[in-house]
Structure 1
Amino acid sequence: MQGGKTMSQRDFLEYHKSIAAELKATKDRVQYLIGSNHWLTVGEHKEAVLRKVLRGHIAETYHIGTGFVCGPDTTSHQIDILISSRDKPILFEDGELRIVTPDMAIGIVEVKTRMPMSRDLEEVLQKIADDVEMIRTNGNQQCLAGLFIYEPYNTIGGPERILGIVQKVTNGEESRAINWIAAGPDIFIRYWCKGEDAQSIQGPVWHSYCLSGLAHAYFSSNVVWDICPHSELNMQYAWFPIEGGKERYRQWYIGLNDLQPRRFSLVKEAAASRS
């Protein structure tokens, strides 16, 4: 025992740090070799890196690739990371590429190199919300959605800017809610369908967390944990190794129908005033 941590806790934490380091190192290698003249190839490689990491952890009952979801009236955009069931018929498959019906889609993830400017970020999140809404209303209400950004967040506004935009594109509809966002290696955002699950406000809410160097690993862990619903709660220590839990690192929140984000310190002050 040292510094209040056992050896196993310390090892799990370092393990998840190594996942984040692996993501960064692997995605950089192709760019080092071919430079910035082939951004399409680099972008596709970064998607493949995250698919490989998720594939190494998610249950074998799911397929991780890329592809499209065909609804009765429309087809999704091309999905960078499409997590689909292995136990239902497939419309089309060629290597990693799959075209499936909405009931097959378990999760969708968009991958970006860096944080887009506000207007572009809204377009990205709008696209994800449109796709997951189509899936949820045509076959799988439990489909999950996320946005994964590699480079550190360095634009004006902080995580509250992202929260404001993700709430806006949802239009107050739970069917459009985006579940996870990794905004670089430090900022993680998670949607809670019931705020009281994480001791914040009542009802659906997004929380932002400052997880220095661990946002990418926590994104992966949340995808795996949420996709695999039979995980035992007492096994969380292996997937979420921050001592005391990530809730200690909450910064901002916004409810599904809020007008603007608020700091968590205000939640604590309000609770203290009521006690």
Structure 2
Amino acid sequence: MDYGGNRMNGELMYQQSIAAEFVAIKDRVRYFIKDSHWGEDGRYKEVILINYLRRILPNGVSVGTGFVKNNRGELTNQIDIIIYKEQYPKLFSEGDFVILMPESVIGIIEVKSTSTTGLLTYKRNGLSVIEKAERNGKIIGNKRIFNGIFTYDNKINFNSEFAYSTVAEKISKLEGYLNCLSLGSNNFIKYWEEGSPSSYDKRKCYSAYNLSYKKIMGEDVNNMQGFSFGYFISNLMETVYKIITPDILNKQYFEFLYPLEGGKESYKLQNGDIYI
């Protein structure tokens, strides 16, 4: 089957299955706990992603939660998920909880249930979720690591007006330490240090994409999740291998990570570049 120029091949099916798996497990938990114990529900959503990452990360790379402390004595806020190199010394470790030095960190992720304008931009305990992720990245002090925000659902209008939204305004004030956002399974935002690949303007920017099943495959199918989760994981894995074993990043592996024909630039929102 071929829709909108994309063939639902094995790689694309794999991308779509990532979202289907995350959503199915999340819903299964919600059926049991219903409207009570939302703190536990939120924590379980972190565990879903942690367990998935443990299955796909290479040897020598671990996943935990905790803090990072730099050599100036600055401490991050607590980070939901930290991906780190096992061979580096830890300042503290107890089960999944770790306190690390920046040199060991490969990636950090903030996990939330639902993205709303309020969640991403309103300050809680002095920082919004976007500001918290950016601050954590600055304390670690390395733009080469993966630094993402992952939400299972989304209630933000993601259309040609997104560039003028409160969320986009908050993003425009960042310095590029936060580099990847998946807002539900349809909506994806990526940071480009040297400008968007589809633009002649090479200023630093964030680009917003509609990676919904309908947009990419050309048909509206009930309960078919989009490709944002898959591309979030792919960007993480690219970063991991760039840091750990860059030799593996050949043409075949890139085609596996990014299976959309012509790339995701065809699905960038109108006015989708947010310059910083």
* Short-chain TM bin: 0.7 to 0.9
User: What are the ranges of 5 or more consecutive residues in structure 2 without an aligned counterpart?
Assistant: 123-127, 213-225
Cα distance in 1, alignment partners of residues 198 and 134 from structure 2: 23
Identity of counterpart residues, as a percentage?
Answer: 32
Structure 2 CA distance for partners of 1:150 and 1:200, relative to 1, 3 Å: farther
Name the counterpart of 2:273: 253
TM (norm. structure 1) is 0.82
By relative contact order (CA 8 Å, sep 6+), the higher-ranking structure is: 2
Name the counterpart of 1:217: 230
Cα distance in 1, alignment partners of residues 231 and 49 from structure 2: 13
Give the secondary-structure state (helix, strand or coil) at the position aligned to 1:114.
strand
Give the secondary-structure state (helix, strand or coil) at the position aligned to 1:60.
coil
Cα distance in 1, alignment partners of residues 200 and 73 from structure 2: 38
Cα distance in 1, alignment partners of residues 50 and 192 from structure 2: 24
Structure 2 CA distance for partners of 1:156 and 1:62, relative to 1, 3 Å: closer
Give the secondary-structure state (helix, strand or coil) at the position aligned to 2:18.
helix
Q: How many residues align?
A: 246
Structure 2 CA distance for partners of 1:206 and 1:100, relative to 1, 3 Å: same
Q: Which has the higher helix share?
A: 1
Q: CA shift at 1:13, angstroms?
A: 0.9
Letter in 1 for 2:255: Y
Q: CA shift at 1:57, angstroms?
A: 2.2
Cα distance in 2, alignment partners of residues 186 and 44 from structure 1: 22
Q: Which has the higher strand share?
A: 2
Cα distance in 2, alignment partners of residues 248 and 200 from structure 1: 15
Matches for 1:36-185 after TM superposition, within 5 Å: 36-71=35-70, 72-118=72-118, 120-122=120-122, 123-136=128-141, 140-155=142-157, 159-160=162-163, 161=165, 162-168=167-173, 170=174, 173-174=175-176, 177-185=177-185
Cα distance in 1, alignment partners of residues 2 and 103 from structure 2: 49
Contact between 2:117 and 2:156, CA under 8 Å: does it hold in 1? Answer: no
Structure 2 CA distance for partners of 1:97 and 1:128, relative to 1, 3 Å: same
Deviating more after overlay: 105-114 vs 140-149: 140-149
Q: CA shift at 1:200, angstroms?
A: 4.4
Letter in 2 for 1:142: R
Deviating more after overlay: 181-190 vs 149-158: 149-158
Q: CA shift at 1:36, angstroms?
A: 2.1
Cα deviation per residue 1:192-217 (whole Å; 9 max; x = unaligned)? 11116454421311111100011111
Contact between 2:196 and 2:273, CA under 8 Å: does it hold in 1? Answer: no
Q: CA shift at 1:95, angstroms?
A: 2.0
Contact between 1:184 and 1:215, CA under 8 Å: does it hold in 2? Answer: yes
Are residues 1:226 and 2:239 paired?
yes
Deviating more after overlay: 221-230 vs 179-188: 221-230
Cα distance in 2, alignment partners of residues 91 and 127 from structure 1: 22
Aligned-pair RMSD on alpha carbons?
2.3
Contact between 2:205 and 2:273, CA under 8 Å: does it hold in 1? Answer: yes
Cα distance in 1, alignment partners of residues 60 and 258 from structure 2: 22
Letter in 1 for 2:109: V
TM (norm. structure 2) is 0.81
Structure 2 CA distance for partners of 1:87 and 1:159, relative to 1, 3 Å: farther
Structure 2 CA distance for partners of 1:207 and 1:155, relative to 1, 3 Å: closer
Cα distance in 1, alignment partners of residues 134 and 156 from structure 2: 24
Give the secondary-structure state (helix, strand or coil) at the position aligned to 2:90.
coil
Q: CA shift at 1:99, angstroms?
A: 1.0
